[in-house]
Amino acid sequence: MKRLIVGMVLALAASLPAWAQKTVTFAYQDMMNPFRWVQQTGEIEKATGYKINWRQFGGGGDVIRAMASGDVQLGEAGSSPIATAISQGLDVELFWILEDIAAAEALVARNGSGVNTVADLKGKKVATPFVSTSHFHLMYALELAGLKAADAQIVNMRPPEIAAAWGRGDLDAAFVWDPALATVKKNGKVLVTSGELCKKGKCTFDGLIVSRKFAAENKDFMVALVKAIAKADADYRANANAWISNKDKVAAVAKWSGGKPEDVADAMALYGFPSAQDQASAKWLGGGANGGAAKALTETAKFLKDQGRIQQLAADYSKSVNPEFVQKAMK
């Protein structure tokens, strides 16, 4: 009887398609987005038969290190850590723009500081977390206003430190993200957002990256993954109020991000979730070296090199941007 049972199990396993028995580890972070609902429902697992080990990480740098070790095949990271990974030779591909940072990061001037435009920051004290997407965009905002970094007193502070210093009146302005952004907005004026700076030529984003080897060997899984995320994003874009009114969806976002349900609506409203059509176009993943994502990674890498965080630039960042799975998902 035991031999019969073993034989039946082996026969069943042999009859299953290869992908039905595969396992993948996916590194995610604490961003609030429609993808969290996909994680909650198990939609990807149901569509592909893969087992997904979801592992939460505290930052993009941690995700990159885990992928470099081989322990993780897919992960979420910001454009700065992704640019760093590509510059250092990590064999990964950017295949989805999880979030256009849009209004989720902004430059805010404190009320009473005398700062009404970016040009007014000359000689003023401005805080931002160094080598972050906010730091990158602060430098770009100053450049557009005709100022050099040395024209302002730029200080390196983590978001909680910015919130505390703001409360003491120690700062004239800050470029940061939530929850510190919400704090400084209470007594400040938004001068420019990351979304506005993106439209002027230099974008920041949170993206999904994958080991090039895994992607090549698991194309059906990759297409199913993109389809699921694209559908969730489309549902949110079509009617954000209805989406946020769904308690189960809000609870899922809060659960997977580690946040509070009452913060979900406002946090998600700050981000942009590009459509599959926009993702595949030159606006983001398409267009080769002229594509939005490739140009953003190139400019970010130049910034990181100037800051001493990387030693050299990659020859071509567009080679690490892959629109293939979005294109196939749209068919």
Check which CATH number belongs to the domain holding 125 and give it: 3.40.190.10
Same domain membership, residue 85 and residue 210: yes
Residue 87 lies in a domain: yes
pTM passes above 0.95: no
Task: Show which of 136, 167, 199 is a domain's final residue.
Answer: 199
Tell me which residue range forms the domain holding 184. Answer: 103-199
Q: At residue 247, what are phi and psi to the nearest 5 degrees? A: -60, -35
Task: Show which of 138, 168, 199 is a domain's final residue.
Answer: 199
> What pLDDT is attached to residue 18?
47
DSSP for 242-266 reads HHHH-HHHHHHHHHHHT--HHHHHH
Residue 11 lies in a domain: no
Same domain membership, residue 195 and residue 134: yes
Question: DSSP letter at 31?
Answer: -
Q: Which amino acid is at 43?
A: E
Number of structural domains (the chain) is 2
Same domain membership, residue 208 and residue 315: yes
Q: What is the pLDDT along the chain (331 residues), one digit of tens a residue?
A: 444 443 444 444 434 454 446 999 999 998 999 999 999 999 999 999 999 999 998 889 999 999 999 999 999 999 999 999 999 999 999 999 999 999 999 999 999 999 999 999 999 999 999 988 999 999 999 999 999 999 999 999 999 999 999 999 999 999 999 889 999 999 999 999 999 999 998 999 999 999 999 999 999 999 999 999 999 999 999 999 999 999 999 999 999 998 889 999 999 999 999 999 999 999 999 999 999 999 999 999 999 999 898 999 999 999 999 999 999 999 9
Same domain membership, residue 145 and residue 72: no
Same domain membership, residue 124 and residue 70: no
> What pLDDT is attached to residue 21?
64
d(CA 34, CA 253): 7
Strand pairing report for 105-110 and 173-177: antiparallel
Residue 220 to residues 74, 228, 287, Cα–Cα distance (Å): 15, 12, 23
Same domain membership, residue 163 and residue 46: no
Residue 8 lies in a domain: no
Task: Centre a 10 Å sphere on the Cβ of residue 114 and count the other Cβ atoms it contains.
Answer: 10
d(CA 258, CA 228): 22
Same domain membership, residue 132 and residue 89: no
Residue 10 lies in a domain: no
Tokens describing residue 31: 């961003």
Task: Show which of 199, 229, 258 is a domain's final residue.
Answer: 199
Residue 2 lies in a domain: no
d(CA 27, CA 40): 15
